[in-house]
Amino acid sequence: MKKIYGSAAEALDGLLFDGMFIAAGGFGLCGIPELLLGAVRDAGTKDLTFASNNAGVDDFGIGILLQTKQVKKMISSYVGENAEFMRQYLSGELELEFNPQGTLAERMRAGGCGIPGFYTKTGVGTVIAEGKEHKEFRGETYILEEGIFADLALVKAWKADETGNLVFRKTARNFNPPAAMCGKVCVVEVEEIVPTGSLDPDSIHLPGIYVHRLIQGEHEKRIEQRTVREA
């Protein structure tokens, strides 16, 4: 099975359609699949639903798709750094489904494991619990959350071998592995592709069976909030 493609556009060829559901990795500005998101923007695919921890910032990450009005709905846990996101939501142009951060990660992981739903205490007694099934276990109340099953997963990793085994760097490991797991098709961008067999099996964070297409590219190293001492 061919997994390595020459560009983001080539890797997404034949996968995109209007109204699709995409799970995207990234945490803050760390581990964002920026090249693949740029290719989605260039393709003009619209009415998209994204499951992602956050929406990047106005000119980076999913923020570039908000600028072009290609996103219909966001399933997220944090949106505080994106002014365009706030504007579209408050004006009724964008649907928003807030999830507690751990719940969102577990919904992705559950979908990747074929689990349609799970019970959690997180959100009980809050607006998060409204309209959801409640059940008691050992005398405590839990709510039912559904697993996420996305049409496509877009992921950023540090290294991959030619079969798609992935290694992530630090914070980028938070949401990228569960996002990769829950997509029917998973497309990954990495900084380096190494020969098969050169990665220590104990160092592999996500096995290549989850990865369908792979590209290597150059990436920005942004700092979300730079704080320095006064001179």
pLDDT at 79: 78
Q: Which CATH number covers residue 38?
A: 3.40.1080.10
Strands 150-161 and 166-167: antiparallel
pLDDT single digits (tens) 71-119: 999 999 987 778 888 889 889 999 999 999 999 999 999 999 999 999 9
Q: Is residue 42 part of a domain?
A: yes
Rounded CA gap, 51 and 74, in Å? Answer: 6
Q: Is residue 227 part of a domain?
A: no
Strand segments, DSSP code E, in the chain are 21-24, 48-51, 71-76, 95-98, 117-120, 134-137, 140-146, 150-161, 166-167, 183-194, 213-216
Record the pTM. 0.92
Q: What is the domain extent for residue 102?
A: 8-117+150-216
Distance of CA 72 to the CA centre of its chain: 16
Would you put residue 53 in left (φ > 0), alpha (ψ -120 to 50) or beta?
A: alpha
Q: Is residue 169 part of a domain?
A: yes
Kindly state the tokens that stand for 204: 């592999």
List, in sequence order, every residue forming a beta bridge with 213; answer none if it has no partner.
187
pLDDT at 21: 98
Residue predicted with more confidence, 5 or 29: 5
